[in-house]
Structure 1
Amino acid sequence: MGNVMLEGILLVTTGFFVLVTLLPLWRHRAWWVRVWEFPRLQLGTLLIALLIAQAGLLDYRQAWPFLLSALTAACLAYQLWWIAPYTRFWRNEVLRAAPDAPGPRIRVMASNVLGPNRTSDRLLALVREYRPDVLVTLETDQWWETQLDQLAAEYPHSIRCPQDNLYGMHVYSRLPLEEPELCFLVEDDVPSMHARVRVSDELAVRMHFLHPAPPSPTENEESTERDVELLVVARSVQGNADPIIVTGDLNDVAWAPTTRLFRKISGLLDPRVGRGMYNTFHAHHWFLRWPLDHFFHSAHFRFIRLLRLPDIGSDHFPVFIELQYDPKHTRQQHGLEADRGDQQQAEQTIDEEPVTPSDVPQPDTEPRR
């Protein structure tokens, strides 16, 4: 292969990476724009390989190879900027609980089971091993509900919405669920669940379980519905002084602008920051993985452990978190902060769908009298 052809391939390849790096800067919500927010780790890896190829194949006695490598390096730096908080080089956003710290703990497991998957025994085995206080399952249909009924003795409290459209949802809890509500906030066939989880007489945790539809050629052509659902829930908890946990498959990666805006508006913390990506999708393709399943929580909690659990036959790995309630030190933990532009952007996005923050259930978490 001649030098001219090699240079042409490197030039076209670099142009492609520049394009997909810049494309998400366009605020258009089309799926083919937003999809490039997901594979930043993969793009960063390929950009490193491209830099190595350029260094070995280009003749730097001319000026344009320097420009080409500079563009590649700039794209690499930009991709790494987004994912850097989800590495161990970053400061932890959620502080670790002291081994002897007092205070109640809560364990939560979230699992997108993949509706057609029929290996329920794997999920049930994990539930019995890790014994979460609260289990949320996504994409669960009537068959899955029947299988999960085996948990009824240990998990007597539940919210159920079996569906065949890959948006079924179930919540099972050892602990009492107070003010449980099933909602369809944005789309008529996409549920969310909301409840107050009674941990003790003194502690109740407001929880929101979400699974908005993703932007994709087979789902919604734009991200509007997903973005609105995330932001309307964020707005509903903004400034709330109660202990709060939001979890589910949000169909958005941890570093995406919409999820970052969710964190800014809600004030909730991400326990993965400074610890790792905890990539949960795709379970069967190691080279195409990113974090779609999330736990966000208020500053009332300290970190004990966060685990990506073994494969259950789904395209998602289950995830498990254990947190300790520590309301005395909330001011020691800080997440992202919203400025006026963020507030305006959230308002403008929410206004695109007929839903308001008052439509989101807001269970009161006062101590039991």
Structure 2
Amino acid sequence: MPNPINWRPKFKYIFDGVFVIGTILLILLSLAGYLGEFNRYLELTSHFKLQYLIVSFCPFFFFVMRRQKLGLILSLVCLIINLVEIVPWYLPQASAIASETDGQKLRVLQSNIDKYSYQLSKVIPLVREEQPDVAVFLEASKNTAKKLEVLQDIFPYSIAGQDGDIDGTVVYSKLPLKNTSVKSIGEGRVSVLADLTIQGQVISLITAHPSTAIGKAYVEQRNRQLVAIANYVAKVKNPLLVGDFNISMWSPYYRRFVNKARLHNTRAGFGILPTWPTCRPLLYIPIDHCFVRRDIKVLNIRTGHEVGSDHLPLITDLWIPRKST
């Protein structure tokens, strides 16, 4: 009687092959974003570094248990590619403060409240709880902007810029807003501009909300807007640039933007802090940003709790040094 076929070794080879192929595909996805300037679909792959990193641990542990040398090398390569993009955001930044008398703390809260959501029952309590010095609301319709006026009891200063009836930006401040204006920087949604004087320094608040990166025309418009914003901000001495930029830190267009504008992402040292989309947490990516020059210290930055929008709020604590005489 013939010996029965032993399928176990064959299944092992099949699983090895599947995991090797899967790891190679994951490596290709991890690298594709670096070529994002050549194709919008390649650029789209750049935003999911965190997801690639988490998934790459699966083949790594599989090949460790299988003691499969080729697969282990491939999975290590995949891990390293993504770790070098994630880990630096968690490394502490130099932020020593000589004395509390040498400056002033500034808390900025920013929230894309979603023009299709109209839910303020969570946003307004969050603002009152966090007590920011400046609050920036994006995608605020005229109706939403009207409802936000209940915050005037704690924010005596405000300015709003509307893009039609269902989209706009509203800024509230405990500090006087000077040289206020609403203008288009490049094309697309308008930006709200205002100066705040803190410790003798003029801090130029600039809001931005480039186009959603869905569809070729919108991606190209977003990229042109980023160029225009970078050109504008590069000429500002002390910018405080906040908004929903519809781009993550791993896009080649983001790298070009921050280099040209000479900006520091306040996330650095505090983690990647994904903010969107709240309805699909497995796809979370960081597209809401707060930028400053490096001489402004970042005390802390964190996401706020869910407020009924597809974005999480960002709360940033800055230290504005006293102007040197």
In the other structure, the counterpart of 1:11 is 20
In the other structure, the counterpart of 1:271 is 266
What is the CA–CA distance in structure 2 between the aligned matches of 1:13 and 1:196, rounded to whole Å? 52
Residue 315 (structure 1) shift: 1.4
Task: Identify the match of residue 227 of structure 1 among 197, 204, 223.
Answer: 223
Deviation readout 1:186-233 (Å, 9 max, x if unpaired): 434x22222212346x3321111111113224xx55633222322322
Letter in 2 for 1:233: I
Larger radius of gyration: 2
Q: Secondary structure at the match of 1:312?
A: coil
In the other structure, the counterpart of 2:4 is none
In the other structure, the counterpart of 2:191 is 192
What is the CA–CA distance in structure 2 between the aligned matches of 1:280 and 1:99, rounded to whole Å? 33
Q: Map 1:126-141 onto structure 2 (within 5 A).
A: 126-141=126-141
Aligned length: 316
What is the CA–CA distance in structure 1 between the aligned matches of 2:280 and 2:150, rounded to whole Å? 31
What is the CA–CA distance in structure 1 between the aligned matches of 2:155 and 2:281, rounded to whole Å? 33
In the other structure, the counterpart of 1:258 is 253
Structure 2 gaps of 5+ residues are 1-9
Asked if the contact 2:161–2:192 (Cα under 8 Å) also holds between the matched residues in 1, the reply is: no
Asked if the contact 2:34–2:46 (Cα under 8 Å) also holds between the matched residues in 1, the reply is: no
Residue 307 (structure 1) shift: 2.6
Q: Secondary structure at the match of 2:231?
A: helix
Question: Is structure 2 residue 35 aligned with structure 1 residue 26?
Answer: yes
Asked if the contact 1:135–1:171 (Cα under 8 Å) also holds between the matched residues in 2, the reply is: yes
Letter in 1 for 2:296: F
Q: Map 1:157-306 onto structure 2 (within 5 A).
A: 157-163=157-163, 167-188=167-188, 190-199=189-198, 202-217=200-215, 220-221=216-217, 223-238=219-234, 240=236, 242-306=237-301
Residue 37 (structure 1) shift: 1.2
Q: TM-score, normalised by structure 2?
A: 0.86
In the other structure, the counterpart of 1:56 is 65
Asked if the contact 1:83–1:255 (Cα under 8 Å) also holds between the matched residues in 2, the reply is: no
Question: Is structure 2 residue 306 aligned with structure 1 residue 311?
Answer: yes
Q: Secondary structure at the match of 2:100?
A: coil
What is the CA–CA distance in structure 1 between the aligned matches of 2:323 and 2:163, rounded to whole Å? 42
What is the CA–CA distance in structure 1 between the aligned matches of 2:58 and 2:222, rounded to whole Å? 34
Deviation readout 1:25-66 (Å, 9 max, x if unpaired): 2244544221211110110111111122233347x4xxxxx4
Residue 273 (structure 1) shift: 1.5
What is the CA–CA distance in structure 2 between the aligned matches of 1:245 and 1:231, rounded to whole Å? 17
What is the CA–CA distance in structure 2 between the aligned matches of 1:310 and 1:96, rounded to whole Å? 28
Residue 68 (structure 1) shift: 4.0
Asked if the contact 1:32–1:216 (Cα under 8 Å) also holds between the matched residues in 2, the reply is: no
Quickly say closer, same or farther: Cα 1:266–1:28, change in 2 above 3 A.
Answer: closer
CA RMSD of aligned residues (A): 2.7
In the other structure, the counterpart of 2:146 is 146
Asked if the contact 1:142–1:163 (Cα under 8 Å) also holds between the matched residues in 2, the reply is: no
Deviation readout 1:249-307 (Å, 9 max, x if unpaired): 11111343322322222222223222212222223444322221111111332223323
In the other structure, the counterpart of 2:5 is none
Which structure carries more strand by proportion? 2
Asked if the contact 1:109–1:321 (Cα under 8 Å) also holds between the matched residues in 2, the reply is: yes
Quickly say closer, same or farther: Cα 1:25–1:103, change in 2 above 3 A.
Answer: closer
What is the CA–CA distance in structure 2 between the aligned matches of 1:253 and 1:101, rounded to whole Å? 36
Q: Map 1:79-94 onto structure 2 (within 5 A).
A: 79-87=82-90, 90-92=91-93
Q: TM-score, normalised by structure 1?
A: 0.76
Task: Identify the match of residue 71 of structure 1 among 52, 71, 74.
Answer: 74
Deviation readout 1:290-342 (Å, 9 max, x if unpaired): 2211111113322233231111111111111121211579xxxxxxxxxxxxx
What is the CA–CA distance in structure 1 between the aligned matches of 2:229 and 2:261, rounded to whole Å? 8
Residue 123 (structure 1) shift: 1.0
Q: Secondary structure at the match of 1:197?
A: strand
What is the CA–CA distance in structure 2 between the aligned matches of 1:165 and 1:15, rounded to whole Å? 48
Asked if the contact 1:31–1:221 (Cα under 8 Å) also holds between the matched residues in 2, the reply is: no
Quickly say closer, same or farther: Cα 1:31–1:144, change in 2 above 3 A.
Answer: farther
Structure 1 gaps of 5+ residues are 61-65, 330-369
Asked if the contact 2:49–2:82 (Cα under 8 Å) also holds between the matched residues in 1, the reply is: yes
**Deviating more after overlay: 244-253 vs 18-27:** 18-27
Deviation readout 1:167-200 (Å, 9 max, x if unpaired): 4222222222222222233434x22222212346
